[in-house]
Amino acid sequence: MNSIRTILTSSLLLLTATTVSAWSGQIKVSTPHMAMYLHAHEGEDLRLDYMGATSASSLELEESGDALQAAAIPAFGTADMTWLPALQVEHANGDLNLELVVDKVSTSSDANSKTTIITMKDKLQPFTLRIFYKAFQNADVIETWTEISHHEKGAVRLRRYDSGHIVIPQGDVWLTHLHGTWSAEMMPVNERLAPGITEIKNTDGTRNAHLDAPEIMLSLDGEPNEHTGRAIGAALCWGGNYDIRVSTMENKMHHLYAGIDPQSSQYVLDPGKTFTTPPLALTYSEEGMGGVSRNFHRWARHDGMVHDGTGVRPILLNSWEGIYFDITEERILKMMDDIKSMGGELFVMDDGWFGRKYERNTDNAALGDWVVDTKKLPHGLKALTDGARERGIKFGIWLEPEMTNTKSELFEQHPDWALQVKGRELKKGRGGTQLVLDLTNPKVQDFVYRTIDNLLTANPDIAYIKWDANAPIQNYGSTYEPADRQDNIYVDYHLGLQKVLQRIRKKYPKLIMQDCASGGGRANYGILPYFDEMWVSDNNDPLQRVFIQWGTSYFFPANVMAQHIATSPYYNTGRVTPIKFRCDVAMSGRLGMELQPSKMTEEERRQATTAINDYKALRQTVQQGNRYRLVDPYTHPVAVLMDVDDSRSHAVLFAYRVRYLYNDVVPRVRLQGLDPAASYTLHERDVKDGEKSCSLDGKTFSGRFLMDVGLDIPLQKDYASRVFELTR
């Protein structure tokens, strides 16, 4: 079976109860605060009537005339031909039509969710569509996806195969999506939905979040508001090319479609096989964009991530921006001493440690040759893992397993393992030599798996892998896929990657892995089920990071956001920033460092040590709390956000000055998420070396005062920043 995101979508194998039911025509799919109503009579099409708050009932919707009665999965060839199709196929005999009718409805349950499965069959062809709605009871999220199968006399071509489709009434509805580029990811864009079709897509091939991310929000009551108003969030859980469309037609409705982009991906499906589309995760909130974010964060920590997403992440030092390719055993051990002395818990050796025939001294050689460069590391990796253990810290390492260079032993031995079109000149990426391996090929999948397995078998003390992917698919062709299956490459690549990651996770369940792809190129819920965290951006400039991290938090929780203290001036902006500002910005996610500690001043070392030690007291709430974005840096000279634990007894408040102009008005900050009847004492953390805490330190206020009246936070100059701990 072709399985997408098996960790989540194969959960039916784990369900404790399955019921095939006769139904009255009405189907309710619900979480504690969100509901979807559908209706389906046997022998008729499946219809979506409503998605929103649980307060509405199907009877009231029918009586008021508000039931939408829209096709749940509009198929090409139905009576609704004015709509865009969510599903279109070419049957084995050339027939392009689908007339799907409901055959049966069943339900399954596990500890945290209830899944409704509607089986539909075509009136003429032996073609079956199963639609899944999985409602999570510990988070207000519903996942929907489909399974497509057939028993026709030949292959069926899937021309379009969206994961899901929802409909909302037209009104003053606004779309929020995240746009950007390398080193400037996740910039929010807000636009009012107007008549026509709005489309967001990505065709990179390996990464899908640098330019436009596969997540959106819809604000239903006018311009997006952080704290109030009805809002819907949608995240396509897929790591490859995608297409999200909002169609606003003459029928007074907005239609949202999301799925794999069909460009060069008209998937060929053989008889007896099943194709599973990636889940589309949907949520609804009446607390504005912030409520949508918190719903996604809660779902991610409990259900959308590998391991237990409720654990805390270690504080690390990564070698990349400190020494780049200039790795030596002496430098690495010294950097371990440095991070240990400042209170860190993990050291990660980045690019430049491998290569035999071809040395890895720049980015143009040796990818795929995963053997230690003994000129740089004469005692191998064991000397480093032993060194980390002796210092009481953990050791991690960088790899880019999906890629190769033309200057490599791997490419010389297996040139056909790279994606390519025979007879055409290879298009090369980073360093002028980089190519993407053909993960549609099981032999290549085995090689990538063995790369990790051999490394960890020989070095069992490796606790962390940074998994990078620095190239798009530029050579669209596979020597493995048959000529009539070349359209399957974009999809089969990611299915192959998932198979590799599933094998790794099965054998090494405790391994910590970071998802990196030229920075935040893989910030998506398709890849996250196999990783513990993601590299948010290659840009560590703290001012720009305020904005990048702000946008990323729209959909992703703080514990997956790797945020590092960097050097100043920063290499790609030239900006000079104080060490406290750099520390405070990095503390709002998974704290780390990315610099050469030996080049830090004594003031910087002391401040970083203070930040690390203070962060240890705060990180449970930062990484696991409910996030509230209080003051938007796009419209104000400051950015303020806070995290509050579930018991509302502990909170952390971050405030950053992002622009300083004389007489700029800094708004009073009204807090969110606290207990109005409780009292909270403020303690300033990461106080600047040699300075006293601000006037708010040690003061006690009621939760009601903090939320209704708020605080005037002292941020009087460029790059001023404050971190407060609030305790009840």
Tell me the average pLDDT of the chain: 94
Query: How far is residue 200's CA from residue 247's CA, in Å, rounded to a whole number?
Result: 12
CATH fold label, 316-535: TIM Barrel (3.20.20)
Indicate where the chain has its CATH 2.60.40.1180 domain(s). 628-727
Task: Centre a 10 Å sphere on the Cβ of residue 518 and count the other Cβ atoms it contains.
Answer: 22
Give me the helix-helix angle, 602-624 and 579-586, nearest 10°. Answer: 20
Question: Bigger pLDDT: 193 or 17?
Answer: 193
pLDDT at 12 over 70: no
Q: Does domain 6-304 have CATH number 3.40.50.10710?
A: no
d(CA 438, CA 461): 30
Q: For residue 599, give the DSSP letter.
A: G
Phi, psi at residue 579, to the nearest 5°? -60, -35
Give span(s): CATH 2.70.98.60, the chain. Answer: 6-304
CB burial readout 322-354, b (16+ within 10 A) else e: bbebebebebbbebbebbbebbbbbbbbbbbbb
Quick one: which H or E segment has residue 707?
A: helix 703-708
d(CA 566, CA 655): 19
Are the CB atoms for 421 and 474 separated by under 8 Å?
Answer: no
Q: Are 597 and 323 in contact (CB under 8 A)?
A: no
Where do the CATH 3.20.20.70 domains begin and end in the chain?
316-535
> Cα 666 to chain center, whole Å?
32
Rg (CA), the chain: 26
Burial class (CB in 10 A: 0-12, 13-18, 19+), 64: exposed
What 3-state class would DSSP assign to 115? strand
| Residues paired with 418 in a beta bridge | 437
Neighbours of 563 (CB within 10 A): 24
| pLDDT at residue number 14 | 36
Tokens, residue 117: 């499965």
Question: What is the DSSP pairing of strand 274-276 with strand 590-593?
Answer: unpaired
**3-state secondary structure at position 92:** coil
Using 50, 70 and 90 to split pLDDT, how confident is the model at 15? very low
Q: Do residues 484 and 414 lie in contact, with contact meaning Cβ atoms separated by under 8 Å?
A: no
432 φ/ψ angles, rounded to the nearest 5 degrees: 75, 10
Predicted local confidence at residue 352, as pLDDT: 98
What are residue 493's phi and psi, to 5 degrees?
-60, -50
Torsion of CA 579, 584, 586, 591, to 10 degrees: 100
- The one-letter amino acid code at 340 reads K
d(CA 505, CA 8): 14
Geometric angle at alpha carbon 341, from 336 and 344, rounded to 5°: 70
**Rounded-to-integer distance, Cα 297 and Cα 622, Å:** 12
Q: Which string of DSSP letters, residue by residue, matches 120-137?
A: EEESSSSEEEEEEEEEET
What fold does the segment set 628-727 form as a domain?
Answer: Immunoglobulin-like (2.60.40)
Residue type, 53: A
Q: Do 453 and 494 form a contact (C-beta atoms < 8 A)?
A: no
Is the separation of the CB atoms in 487 and 440 below 8 Å? no
pLDDT at 31 over 80: yes
- Asked whether residue 541 carries a pLDDT value surpassing 70, the answer given is yes
3-class SS letters over 276-310: ECCCEEEEEECEHHHHHHHHHHHHHHHHHCCCCCC
Supply φ then ψ for residue 302, to 5 degrees. Answer: -95, -30
d(CA 622, CA 645): 8
Give how far Cα 243 sits from Cα of 200, 212, 532, Å.
6, 10, 26
Tokens at 518, concatenated: 């030229």
What's the rounded Cα separation, in Å, for the pair 266 and 463? 40
Please return the burial class of 223, using the count of CB atoms within 10 Å of its CB with bins 0-12, 13-18 and 19+. exposed
The C-alpha angle 459, 531, 17, rounded to 5 degrees, equals 115
Section 581-602 average pLDDT: 98
Question: Please, what is the Cα angle at 187 between 491 and 190, to 5 degrees?
Answer: 95
Digit-coded pLDDT (tens) for 472-494: 999 999 999 999 999 999 999 99
- Find which of 12-26, 50-64, 188-202 is predicted with most confidence, using mean pLDDT: 188-202
211 in Cβ contact with 177 (< 8 Å) = no
C-alpha distances out from residue 690 to 580, 603, 693, Å: 12, 9, 10
The CA distance from 46 to 63, in Å, is: 20
Question: Could you read off the pLDDT of 687-724 as tens digits, one per residue?
Answer: 998 899 999 999 999 999 999 999 999 999 999 999 99
pLDDT of residue 43: 84
d(Cα 327, Cα 198) in Å, to the nearest integer?
Answer: 48
Worst-scoring range by mean pLDDT, 58-62, 270-274, 412-416? Answer: 58-62
Render pLDDT for 644-694 as a digit per residue (tens, 0 to 9): 999 999 999 999 999 999 989 899 999 999 999 999 999 999 999 889 999
Torsion angle, alpha carbons of 518, 520, 524, 527, to 10: 40
Nearest C-alpha neighbor of 227 from the set 167, 177, 292: 292
Structure tokens at 477: 């062709």
Query: With 60 as the cut, is the pLDDT of residue 20 above it?
Result: no
Query: Which tokens in the block code for residue 54?
Result: 């649980």
- Joined tokens for residue 114: 């209830």
Q: Which residue has the higher pLDDT, 132 or 67?
A: 132
Provide the token pair at 257.
């479609």
- What is the rounded average pLDDT of the residues 297-326? 90
pLDDT exceeding 70 applies to what percent of the chain? 96
Query: Phi/psi at 620 (nearest 5 deg)?
Result: -60, -45
Least confident of 2-6, 140-144, 351-355, 374-378: 2-6
Which residue, chain included where needed, has tokens 């792809």?
517
Range with the largest mean pLDDT of 3-17, 296-310, 331-345: 331-345
Separation in Å, CA 24 to CA 27, 40, 42: 8, 8, 9
List CB contacts of 266: < 8 A, sequence separation 6 or more: 90, 157, 158, 159, 487
pLDDT for the residue 63: 83
**Rounded distance between C-alpha atoms, residue 674 and residue 17, angstroms:** 39
Specify the pLDDT at position 303. 86
Average pLDDT (540-552) is 98
Are residues 134 and 156 in contact, defined by beta-carbon separation less than 8 angstroms?
no
Q: Give the pLDDT score at 19.
A: 55
* 7 φ/ψ angles, rounded to the nearest 5 degrees: -55, -40
**554 token code pair:** 């729209």
Closest by CA to 129, choosing from 20, 279, 277, is: 277
pLDDT exceeds 90 at position 75 = yes
> What is the Cα–Cα distance from 472 to 108, expressed in whole angstroms?
39
Residue 635: CB partners within 8 Å, gap ≥ 6? none
Q: C-alpha 523: how far from its chain's center?
A: 4
